[in-house]
Amino acid sequence: MIIDCHGHYTTAPKGLQAFRDSQLAGLKDPKHVPSKGTLKITDDEIRESLENAQLKFQRERGTDLTIFSPRASGMAHHIGDATTSLHWSQHCNDLIHRVCSLYPENFVAVCQLPQSPGVPPSNCIQELERCVNELGFIGCNLNPDPSGGHWTAPPLTDKYWYPFYEKMVELDVPAMVHVSASCNSNFHTTGSHYINADTTAFMQFLTADLFKDFPALRFIIPHGGGGVPYHWGRYRGLAQDMNRPLLVDLIRNNVFFDTCVYHLPGIELLLKIVPMDNILFGSEMVGAVRGIDPETGFYFDDTKRYIDSVTWLSGGDRKKLFEGNARRVYPRLKL
């Protein structure tokens, strides 16, 4: 089985944005009383939104199962308050649950969290429990910067996050470290904010003892680990200068990179540098880059094709990369 650990519902029916637009309009009206409201989307609309996108690409590219979550840039935790974020997250998560119920062999669910700037992450425990215990979700996306590019929250290694981590460990679910849209004009959302957040999270993990406190806590750093594999020597050297553990020991059971790197030389570097036990196949499909690479004639985000062309990978390596590691990181995945 080929498991893609990184897919977002970027093609959701218009009803989702209609709800969000109405929610945001309410925020501008001082007399408006926030309420959860309802989402008007039919099953047929859901089917249609997937058949010509994610499902078509699964078939064409030969992948089987996508670990699927709400659109990352749509989370926009910086908008409104914790109630705004809760209502929005619940709708987004319920919609993912409907997707996974309609296509149980193609999608398995990961949830958005109702984070909000300045609100402790413990506030997200209830929604995580609802998604995992009631709806069968197998993980969550954790935003290290709910402010959307102002980076006002404490680092991921701060005790601020610990109550949420305790719940993650108890439920045995990992988190993908994933920021959302940037509202800071310095940072392009998918071109720099995403990559920067990945690099930032890794360096936070490198400089603290988080995994001594939580040996069973697991994070996926998406987008091939941001800038980390390219600068692996820098990180090995910094760790050494600071008397920190070897990187391979630091990440062994706790930090994993996906393969969302959109050209062969980048994928080759990733596979050469990062231990094979710490890489999960992912494509971010349909996501940040939607076009076809004129140099290859194939979609930029068809990352399986790059991996398939790396001749020195053993059969055992491929098995880990495409399936085994995902099953280890997401033990609630039972398919």
Residues annotated as catalytic are: 284
Query: Does 311 help bind its own copies (rule: CB under 8 A)?
Result: no
Phi, psi dihedrals of residue 168, rounded to the nearest 5°: -55, -45
104: which DSSP letter? T
Q: Which is nearer to its own copies, 94 or 293 (CB)?
A: 293
Q: Are 194 and 179 in contact (CB under 8 A)?
A: yes
Picking from 152, 153, 154, 148, the residue whose alpha carbon sits closest to that of residue 184 is 148
What residues pair up with 109 in beta bridges, in sequence order?
A: 68
Using CB under 8 A as the criterion, what x/- string covers residues 184-223 for binding its own copies?
Answer: xxxxx-xxx--xx--xx-xxx-xx---------------x
For its own copies, the closer CB: 40 or 234: 234
Residues 117-156 that bind its own copies (CB under 8 A): 144-145, 149-151, 153-155
Residue corresponding to tokens 């949420």: 164
**Tokens coding 200:** 């930032």
Identify which of residues 168 and 270 has a Cβ nearer to its own copies in the complex: 270
Residue number with CB closer to its own copies (164 or 187): 187
CB of 126 to its own copies, least distance (A): 26
Binds its own copies (CB under 8 A): choice among 75, 76, 251, 261: 261
Closest to 110 measured CA to CA, from 26, 254, 200, 5: 5
Of the candidate spans 44-52, 104-112, 113-121, 236-244, the one that interacts with its own copies by CB under 8 A turns out to be 236-244
Question: Which residue stretches of the chain are H helix?
Answer: 14-28, 43-51, 54-61, 72-75, 82-102, 125-129, 135, 162-171, 194-206, 210-213, 232-241, 247-251, 264-273, 303-308, 315-319, 325-329
Establish if 19 lies at the interface with its own copies (CB under 8 A). Answer: no
Binding residues for its own copies, rule: CB under 8 A, are 144-145, 149-151, 153-155, 158, 184-188, 190-192, 195-196, 199-200, 202-204, 206-207, 223-224, 226-227, 229-238, 240-241, 261-263, 265-266, 269, 272-273, 288-291, 293-295, 300-301
